[in-house]
Structure 1
Amino acid sequence: MTVSDPSLDLQKAIRQRLLASAELTALVDPGAIIDANGRPERMPCVQIGEGQTIFRRWNATTHATLHVWFQEPGLVQCKQAVSAIVEALRVDAQVSGVLVLDHFTCHDLMVTQTRFMRDPHGSYSHGIVTVTGIMTARAA
């Protein structure tokens, strides 16, 4: 099977790194760190959501969006979980080396943006995390 879009490899790497984060899994059950559509059935939850890849001649920039959900009146737990995500997804190739994935190599994985929103009814907190990785295809 030929894999031409690095977003699937990036999604797998993100999930592995999140599951390996003791700080995050203390807040969110590992079974609730998922790739799913729609409103989460379990709370709290981290949904690995949308992706986008911008191709260049020799590499690609791949973006992934994570949605963090908590049932809480404020944003405290959501912000704590997002902080754990930011730390878990920090990969600087010059410091810790590259991430060698199934079909691609990821360089300088990092969170590029976080946003926090309140539920209009006051029941839920929602964090949105944008992750970016510089990807190069591995030789077959």
Structure 2
Amino acid sequence: MASPSLELQGVIVARLKAWAGLSASVNGRVYDSVPKEDLRIAQTGAGWPYISVGEGDETSDDADCIDGFEISLDIDVWSRAVGFPEAKRISDEIRKALKSPDLTLPTNALVDFRHRQTRFLRDPDGLTSHAVMTFEGFAEQP
């Protein structure tokens, strides 16, 4: 039996890589593990901008005859463009891509999935804009 949060992550990554509204800006740069930085040029191996799967958790919420899981997942947007406009445009496209009701897990049932909040941050390097998007859902195992 597959973990609901693992299945959800796979579906999300596939959706974001295929989403037309993200193709011009991130060009498929959606990562669980971001390619290593080249310290000689102080540049991430990912290229800019990019999306990464961030922190998450899966909490059991069982009921009679139902193995349920509350899932929380962060998706991060990373940009080196001036200011926040690029990070805000990309995060809006992510929200649109993931609010679609047709997110289907291979073996588990995704009952609910929604965007909770987006925080925009300036990273300490003074160059990087960062959006942290939090999504929440509920899944049931068969």
Q: 2:22 aligns with which of 24, 29, 33?
A: 24
Q: How many residues align?
A: 130
Q: 2:129 aligns with which of 101, 118, 125?
A: 125
Is the contact between residue 62 and residue 133 of structure 1 (CA under 8 Å) also seen in structure 2? yes
Distance, in Å, in 2 between the alignment partners of 1:82 and 1:68 is: 7
Matches within 5 A, 1:68-79: 68-79=77-88
Counterpart for residue 55 of structure 1: 60
Whether 1:46 aligns to 2:59 is no
Distance, in Å, in 1 between the alignment partners of 2:61 and 2:123 is: 39
Q: Secondary structure at the match of 1:60?
A: strand
- Please tell me the residue identity of whatever aligns with 1:6: P
Whether 1:85 aligns to 2:82 is no
Whether 1:34 aligns to 2:38 is no
Distance, in Å, in 1 between the alignment partners of 2:32 and 2:89 is: 21
Describe the shift of the 1:65–1:126 C-alpha distance in structure 2 as closer, same or farther (beyond 3 A).
same
Q: Secondary structure at the match of 1:74?
A: coil
Distance, in Å, in 1 between the alignment partners of 2:115 and 2:22 is: 15
Distance, in Å, in 2 between the alignment partners of 1:15 and 1:117 is: 23
* Rg comparison, structure with higher value: 2
Q: Secondary structure at the match of 1:86?
A: helix
TM-score, length basis structure 1: 0.83
| 5+ long unaligned stretches in structure 1 | none
| 5+ long unaligned stretches in structure 2 | 38-43
TM-score, length basis structure 2: 0.82
Distance, in Å, in 2 between the alignment partners of 1:107 and 1:18 is: 20
Matches within 5 A, 1:91-102: 91-92=100-101, 99-102=103-106
CA-CA distance at 1:41 after TM superposition: 2.6
Q: Secondary structure at the match of 1:133?
A: strand
Counterpart for residue 114 of structure 1: 118
CA-CA distance at 1:104 after TM superposition: 0.9
Q: Give a deviation string over 1:75-115, Cα, whole Å, max 9, x none.
A: 000000000000000044xxx5xx43122111222211110
Q: Which runs of 4+ in 1 moved over 4 A?
A: 37-40
CA RMSD of aligned residues (A): 1.9
